[in-house]
Chains A and B, each alone.
Chain A
Amino acid sequence: MSVAFKAVQWNRDKLIYDAVLVAGVAIYIAGFAAVAWRWHPPKNLPDVLDIWLRAFGTAAFLMLTVILCIGPLARLDCRFLKLLYNRRHFGVLTFFVAATHVGLMIEWFAVQGLLHTLPADFTTWENYGKFIGFPFKTLGVAALAIMLTMAATSHDFWLGFLKPPVWKALHMAVYAAYGLVVMHVALGIMQYEHTPLIPLMLIGSLGAVATLHLMAGWREWDADHGRAAAADGWLLVGPPNAIPDKGARIVTASGGERIAVFRDGDQIGALTNLCAHQNGPLGEGRIIDGCVTCPWHGYQYRLADGCAPPPFIERLVTYRVRWNQGVIEVDPHPLPPGTPASITCPRTGA
């Protein structure tokens, strides 16, 4: 880890990921334009701009769809985790593609000398009372404003500055942006361009996003309700050797908080499963050089007290653990961040 903020933290994996991402988007946009060109050969410059406008618009919408699918996919199958770790670059690129869509739209008005009519599209107030005829561009502007805010605050610095709960809330707004774009298309182009492709794109996208979220939620609900609690509320983790050495077992408290119970030889400790950096899944990480290491960006914490080693100052909530007749149990009540709480297990199998 370095102690200087860099513009972008690239490594080999991320560079490959970004190259594949950019190439994929470029191929989609070029392919869209090539097909549209054949299908309805453009007669003039506005027609040409219209093709690109649609190519970038649909690209941004499909990217937004993929972004929303990556989360539940990663919860369903850990092979998708790699996509999740790099979702930030995906989001920033989506913003640039959407912004290009808007730039092309402005150009479309400009080349026809119609730029001065554009503001009236937003300020014809009586149209806001209509359903069909609603100023769909305003919906696009609202979505773009959300995407801009997210892209502009995606650097780690902002996570610290805005505090994780605010940052998280801001990034949940991606669902609002998605809804706004769906309406932008449904009330806009879908009303005056009668091709089945547009409703097909919307239904396919909504279907994929909704189905994956329901599947992931269902599986977690199932997993969260199967675990027995001791009479005094402590949660069963299992025998010490059921916890992989230098790894963790994740248990869920009744409130839904996930607790990562780690084992390092015969030392057992429990931390929140949420990394202080970007809420990464700590329990899927490993103990490296004596520290619990987050799988997402490598932040490290001491198992004994949840503190990052100096000079870092992050501190995690810890949980009390106990050894009870051969099994490990954890108290679901969190201790203040940085409280020492690990134990040494009397006897370990592995």
Chain B
Amino acid sequence: MSTVLLAALALYVAAGVVTGAAFVTVGAARFAHHMTFTLPARLVLFPGAALLWPYVLYRWRRARSDEP
């Protein structure tokens, strides 16, 4: 039982690392009106993007379909 839970957690984290890294390198600028990011700022944003990756992906997809 606990093995299943741990495996699910590991999968969630792995997907978070991939999504989070992609988001802070190319996605975040879309949501930062008129703002740019320093490199440390991107690193600071990474944990949040990795943690909330399903919601981040959802917003990212929606933002892409809004702008041609």
- Residue positions of A touching B, CB distance < 8 A: 3-8, 119-120, 122-123, 148-149, 151-153, 155, 157-158, 160-161, 311-313
Among B32, B48, B59, chain A packs the most CB atoms within 10 A around the CB of B48
A4 touches which of B2, B5, B37 (Cβ 8 Å): B37
- Residue positions of B touching A, CB distance < 8 A: 1-3, 5-6, 28, 31-38, 40-41, 43-45, 47-48, 51-52, 59
User: If A123-B2, A161-B31 touch, does A152 touch B51 (CB 8 Å cutoff)?
Assistant: yes
Tell me if B40 and A7 are in contact (CB < 8 A): yes
Tell me if B2 and A157 are in contact (CB < 8 A): no
Q: Give me 6 other A-B pairs in contact (C-beta within 8 A), A7-B40, A157-B31 excluded.
A: A4-B36, A7-B41, A152-B48, A153-B48, A153-B52, A313-B34
Tell me if B41 and A5 are in contact (CB < 8 A): yes
Alpha-carbon distance between A120 and B33 when the two chains are bound, in angstroms: 48
Tell me if B35 and A7 are in contact (CB < 8 A): no
Alpha-carbon distance between A324 and B8 when the two chains are bound, in angstroms: 66
B5 touches which of A123, A153, A161 (Cβ 8 Å): A123
Tell me if A7 and B38 are in contact (CB < 8 A): yes
Alpha-carbon distance between A123 and B2 when the two chains are bound, in angstroms: 7
Give chain A residues whose Cβ lies under 8 Å from the Cβ of B37: 4-5
Alpha-carbon distance between A160 and B45 when the two chains are bound, in angstroms: 13
Give chain B residues whose Cβ lies under 8 Å from the Cβ of A155: 41, 44-45, 48
Tell me if B2 and A311 are in contact (CB < 8 A): no
A119 touches which of B6, B36, B44 (Cβ 8 Å): B6
For A166, the closest partner residue in chain B by CB is B55
Give chain B residues whose Cβ lies under 8 Å from the Cβ of A4: 35-38, 41
User: If A119-B2, A123-B2 touch, does A312 touch B34 (CB 8 Å cutoff)?
Assistant: yes
11 A-B pairs in the complex with CB atoms less than 8 angstroms apart: A3-B34, A5-B41, A7-B40, A7-B43, A119-B2, A148-B51, A149-B51, A149-B52, A151-B47, A155-B41, A313-B34
Alpha-carbon distance between A3 and B34 when the two chains are bound, in angstroms: 7
Tell me if B31 and A160 are in contact (CB < 8 A): yes
User: If A153-B52, A161-B59 touch, does A5 touch B34 (CB 8 Å cutoff)?
Assistant: no
Give chain B residues whose Cβ lies under 8 Å from the Cβ of A122: 2, 5
Minimum Cβ distance to chain B for residue A32 (Å): 28
Alpha-carbon distance between A311 and B44 when the two chains are bound, in angstroms: 24
Tell me if A5 and B38 are in contact (CB < 8 A): yes
Tell me if B40 and A3 are in contact (CB < 8 A): no
Alpha-carbon distance between A185 and B22 when the two chains are bound, in angstroms: 39
B1 touches which of A3, A123, A149, A161 (Cβ 8 Å): A123
Give chain B residues whose Cβ lies under 8 Å from the Cβ of A157: 28, 31-32, 41, 45
Alpha-carbon distance between A122 and B1 when the two chains are bound, in angstroms: 10
A158 touches which of B1, B40, B48 (Cβ 8 Å): B48
Alpha-carbon distance between A172 and B24 when the two chains are bound, in angstroms: 26
Alpha-carbon distance between A155 and B37 when the two chains are bound, in angstroms: 12
Minimum Cβ distance to chain B for residue A214 (Å): 34
Minimum Cβ distance to chain B for residue A337 (Å): 15
Minimum Cβ distance to chain B for residue A89 (Å): 12
Tell me if B34 and A8 are in contact (CB < 8 A): no
Alpha-carbon distance between A258 and B41 when the two chains are bound, in angstroms: 33
Minimum Cβ distance to chain B for residue A2 (Å): 9
Minimum Cβ distance to chain B for residue A127 (Å): 14
Give chain B residues whose Cβ lies under 8 Å from the Cβ of A3: 34-36
Minimum Cβ distance to chain A for residue B46 (Å): 9
